[in-house]
Amino acid sequence: MSFDARLLTGVGVMAAVDEAGNFAKAAEILGLTPSGVSRAVARLEARVGVRLFDRSPRSVSLTEEGRRFHAQVLPLLAGLEEAASEAVGAAATVSGRLRVNVDPWFARMILAPRIPQFLDAHPKVTLELTVSNHREEMMTGVDVAVRFGPADGASLIVRKLFETRVLTCAAPAYLERRGMPQTPHDLVHHEGVLFRDPQTGRPFAWEFHRQQEVMEIGIGGRMVLDDPSTAVAACVAGQGLFQSLEIGLRPWLDDGSLVQILPDWAEERFPLYAYHPSRHLPPAKVRAFLDFVQQITVE
């Protein structure tokens, strides 16, 4: 028997009529007219092929077939009510398993050191963290995904978390060998540590922004990577220049392992977005995580 949405409505009306004892009181409980209740019961009887109620001018009562049918569907109604209650609780209570797919650089440099802070604040949450910079199937089996780059995902809810600058840097040892670039055009004589765009498979183009001016420079390099931590390590070792997100880069700049070059051309900004399945009200655990991420990026 194929599913008919009116069957579920009819079962609910039947339960209300049995509890109220007549159509008029059931109609008042359900916010319907007595004739609407009568029609719903008639449709249900036609659907199941048996008479469910014995009717009299003052009351109605379940037939023998009606009592058997009612006994069979009552646990199902209770299960629906329980599921609805759990859904309400999930929307209001920060608890349960939270599955997150996060960009590698953000996961290692920003999120991982703060995870204890999030879990301490929400002791009923269990966090499952997947690290990837690919967007294909990034939502498979997860509640929320976090990615750098332009927003993508027409069927998803997208929330912008913050923006960070793109900095160009190098190790002091490299600059001693090759000299300090003075303009973006000088980079054609330098070697870069190139980073592969996970969406195109090709190295990211190097752009330099200053006020309204944007300059794209073609820089060569013998190393192409898809992991930003490895790229930074290669840059620190003196392999070449590297363009990195400013967020998370501060430890190397502060201890002198890396030096920013062309600071006057560092106005390009790269966004971080969160994605979660389309729904009017995401679970409280998702909202809490997104609020936490937004908080730690501005501290």
pLDDT tens string 251-269: 999 999 999 999 999 999 9
pLDDT at 20 over 60: yes
For residue 80, count other CB atoms closer than 10 A to its CB: 13
Predicted TM-score (pTM) of this structure: 0.67
C-alpha 90: how far from chain center: 16
Q: Could you give the CA distance from residue 233 to residue 287 in angstroms, rounded to a whole number? A: 34
Residue, of 135 and 50, whose pLDDT is higher = 50
| Rounded average pLDDT over 18-25 | 85
Q: Could you give the CA distance from residue 16 to residue 23 in angstroms, rounded to a whole number? A: 9
pLDDT the model gives residue 153: 66
Q: Classify each residue of 134-159 as buried b or exposed e, where b means 16 or more C-beta atoms within 10 Å of its C-beta.
A: ebeebbeebbbbbbbbeeebeebeeb
Amino acid symbol at 109: M
pLDDT at 120 over 70: yes
Q: Report residue 78's pLDDT band, with 50, 70 and 90 as the boundaries.
A: low
Are 268 and 79 a contacting pair, CB within 8 Å? no
- Strands 220-225 and 269-277, how do they pair? unpaired
Give which of 285, 279, 293 is closest to 92, Cα–Cα.
285
Q: Could you give the CA distance from residue 213 to residue 110 in angstroms, rounded to a whole number? A: 31
CA dihedral 155, 81, 74, 79 (to 10 degrees): 70
Tell me the percentage of the chain whose pLDDT exceeds 90.
Answer: 51
Are 166 and 246 a contacting pair, CB within 8 Å? yes
For residue 44, count other CB atoms closer than 10 A to its CB: 24
pLDDT at 214 over 90: yes
C-alpha 24: how far from chain center: 47
C-alpha 111: how far from chain center: 15
Q: Could you give the CA distance from residue 184 to residue 217 in angstroms, rounded to a whole number? A: 7
Give which of 260, 266, 252, 253 is closest to 170, Cα–Cα.
260
pLDDT at 187 over 70: yes
pLDDT the model gives residue 1: 42
pLDDT tens string 96-107: 899 999 999 999
